[in-house]
Amino acid sequence: MPEAVDAVEMQAALLRLRRTSGLPVVFGGLLSDARHARIAELNGAQTSALRGLVISAGSGLGGKAIALSRPCAVTDYAISRHISHEYDAAVAAEGLRSVVAVPVVVRRAVRGVLYGALRTPVTLGDRTFDAVVAAARDVEQSLAVRDSARQLLAAGRERVSDPDAVPGAWEDVREAHRDLRALVPRVVDPALRDELLEVCGRLASASGAKASTAREIRLAPREVDVVACVAAGATNAAAAERLGLRPETVKGYLRSAMRKLGAHTRLEAVVAARRAGLLP
């Protein structure tokens, strides 16, 4: 799964970084262990000199950023006295001079490093520096989402195996279902998103409930998300915060879901959704 994030999230972050910063060269990679990162994604590079380069903590500019867990920059890489020079050949082959490296940090642990570079020796301005930091934060958020998804998937599979075996387990099943559905829209990797939805479906059908109407009731994904939040007792404002939506948008989804479910109250909507096998 780290490879999927590296290929999808890192590429997206680097593309946004070039567009927002104007930097001609951006690149980065995730850590393969606690002390080594591999440069796997590049945007704007003219050679392959940097691709696959393994950066060790403490070595070069990126290694310094990893070791210190903070952004580092140099105005002229080749002659800088503030870094070691193990990677000078690759940097020179690409013609890089002014470089900034920003660590990707999730829960206080460095998970990767992003670079932005110019081919001229000039001091990077605050706007450029902030853009690289923002790109690293985007990757951090994606990694945090992936970590949460994996944890919730494991919990969801455990709960769906036999919900009746443990008293009170149905509340855990419903909580896992709600949390997983809230996470799905934030996941970019399609394989992981499909996996989340598959477990959501298993959780929703764990009770064995079937649609009681002649025609199958179909709710849009966001309508199910909103009803799942309502089932947990969330207000429209609380559901909006959890789902990253506006309260007015939540209200619209809930109104639409209630109409499809033939419900006149929030409670009726939850009961109907469970009878239809849309919620656990």
Confidence band for 54, pLDDT divided at 50, 70 and 90: very high
- pLDDT (tens digit, 9 = 90+) per residue, 206-257? 665 554 444 578 899 899 999 988 988 889 999 998 888 999 999 999 999 9
How far is the CA of 190 from the CAs of 146, 193, 194, in angstroms? 12, 5, 6
Q: Which tokens sit at 86?
A: 């193990």
Confidence band for 163, pLDDT divided at 50, 70 and 90: low
- pLDDT (tens digit, 9 = 90+) per residue, 2-13? 455 456 778 888
- The pLDDT, as a whole number, for residue 185 is 80
Q: What is the arithmetic mean of pLDDT over 142-158?
A: 73
SS3 138: helix
User: How far apart, in whole angstroms, are the C-alpha atoms of residue 201 and residue 196?
Assistant: 9
Confidence band for 27, pLDDT divided at 50, 70 and 90: very high
- The pLDDT, as a whole number, for residue 198 is 79
Exposure pattern of 222-231 as b/e (b: 16+ CB <10 Å)?
A: bbbbbbbbbb
- Answer whether 276's CB lies under 8 Å from 218's CB: no
Q: Which residue has the higher pLDDT, 94 or 108?
A: 94
pTM higher than 0.85: no
Residue 158 scores a pLDDT above 60: yes
Q: What are phi and psi of 108, to 5 degrees?
A: 70, 5
Q: What is the arithmetic mean of pLDDT over 172-195?
A: 77
| Mean pLDDT of all residues belonging to the chain | 85
Confidence band for 39, pLDDT divided at 50, 70 and 90: very high
User: How far apart, in whole angstroms, are the C-alpha atoms of residue 253 and residue 250?
Assistant: 5
The pLDDT > 70 percentage for the chain reads 87
- pLDDT (tens digit, 9 = 90+) per residue, 57-69? 999 999 999 999 9
- The pLDDT, as a whole number, for residue 29 is 92
Q: Which residue has the higher pLDDT, 80 or 276?
A: 80
The segment with the largest mean pLDDT, out of 19-28, 138-147, 232-241, is 19-28
- The pLDDT, as a whole number, for residue 1 is 46
Exposure pattern of 154-184 as b/e (b: 16+ CB <10 Å)?
A: ebbeebbeebeeeeebeebbbbbbbbbbbbb
Residue 192 scores a pLDDT above 80: no
112 strand-pairing partners: 30, 104
| Residue 94: how many other CB atoms lie within 10 Å | 19
